[in-house]
C-alpha cells in the first residue's frame, strides 16, 4: 500500500528476461530484499540490491498494463511502501495500474500547473470531479473532467511538479493511471446487490396489488 507521495526519482537502467533494473541512489540505503517499491505507480518487489539500485521481477501483465516496458522512459517516480504509523498525506494507492493514459496539455496558471490527461473509456467511469487519481504514482485531485471521464485535468503545485517526473513529460507522453479503489468497491457492491425492477406484477406478487 502506498500514499501517492513521491519520495525520489530513479532511472530504469534496463529490462532483460522479465527483470527490471532501476537506479535509485536516493532511497538505496533504505531498501531490503522483499521490500515493495512503487515505480511510476507500479508496485514492484525488490529481488536483488545492487550498488546503485535494485532489480525487480516484472510479469507480462505488468508490462501490458503500464508504461514500464516502453523504451527511453524519463526518470521514474519512486515511493516505498507505507509503514504502520506513517502519515497518510495523499490517498490509498495500491500500486496496481488500471490503464495507460496520455498527457494532453500542461501550462502554468496562477502559480501552479494545470495539466490534463486522456484516459481509456473503461477507466473513465471512476474519474470524477474532486476525486482522487494516481498518475505515475502521484496522488492528485481531479479538478475537472468530461462526462465520460476520458478527459480530466489536475492542478499541480510547484513542489509536486518539481519533485516528480511531471516536469519531464511532453505532449503525448504515456502515464500510468490508477483510479481510487473506493469507487471500484462501490461499483461492485451496487452491481451485486441490484434490486429487482418495481413493476405492477412485482407489487401484486408481494401483496400490493
| CA gap 6, 139 in Å, rounded | 9
Q: Is residue 91 scored above 60 in pLDDT? A: yes
First-to-last CA distance in the chain?
53
**Fold of the domain built from segment(s) 99-182:** Elongation Factor Tu (Ef-tu); domain 3 (2.40.30)
pLDDT at 195: 63
Residue extent(s) of CATH 2.40.30.20 domains in the chain = 8-80, 99-182
Contact 9, 26 (CB under 8 A): yes
- The two counts, helices (H) then strands (E), for the chain are 5, 12
pLDDT tens digits, one per residue of 138-155: 999 999 999 999 999 999
pLDDT tens digits, one per residue of 29-47: 999 999 999 999 999 999 9
CATH of domain 8-80: 2.40.30.20
Neighbours of 84 (CB within 10 A): 4
Contact 48, 31 (CB under 8 A): no
pTM beyond 0.85: yes
Amino acid at each position: 500500500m502506498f500514499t501517492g507521495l513521491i519520495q525520489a526519482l530513479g532511472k530504469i537502467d534496463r529490462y532483460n528476461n522479465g527483470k527490471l533494473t532501476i537506479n535509485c541512489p536516493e532511497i538505496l540505503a533504505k531498501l531490503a530484499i522483499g521490500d515493495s517499491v512503487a515505480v511510476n505507480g507500479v508496485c514492484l518487489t525488490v529481488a536483488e540490491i545492487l550498488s546503485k539500485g535494485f532489480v525487480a521481477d516484472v510479469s507480462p501483465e505488468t508490462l501490458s498494463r503500464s508504461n514500464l516496458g516502453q523504451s527511453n522512459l524519463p526518470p521514474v517516480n519512486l515511493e516505498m511502501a507505507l509503514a504502520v504509523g506513517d502519515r497518510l498525506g495523499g490517498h490509498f494507492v495500491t500500486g496496481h495500474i488500471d490503464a495507460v493514459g496520455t498527457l494532453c496539455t500542461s501550462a502554468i496558471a496562477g502559480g501552479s500547473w494545470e495539466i490534463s490527461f486522456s484516459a481509456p473509456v473503461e477507466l473513465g467511469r471512476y474519474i470524477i470531479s474532486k476525486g482522487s487519481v494516481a498518475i505515475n504514482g502521484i496522488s492528485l485531485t481531479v479538478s475537472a473532467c468530461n462526462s465520460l471521464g476520458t478527459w480530466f485535468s489536475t492542478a499541480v503545485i510547484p513542489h509536486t511538479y518539481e519533485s516528480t517526473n511531471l516536469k519531464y513529460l511532453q505532449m503525448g507522453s504515456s502515464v500510468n493511471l490508477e483510479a481510487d479503489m473506493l469507487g471500484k468497491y462501490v461499483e461492485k457492491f451496487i452491481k451485486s446487490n441490484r434490486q429487482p425492477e418495481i413493476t405492477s406484477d412485482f407489487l401484486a406478487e408481494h401483496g400490493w396489488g
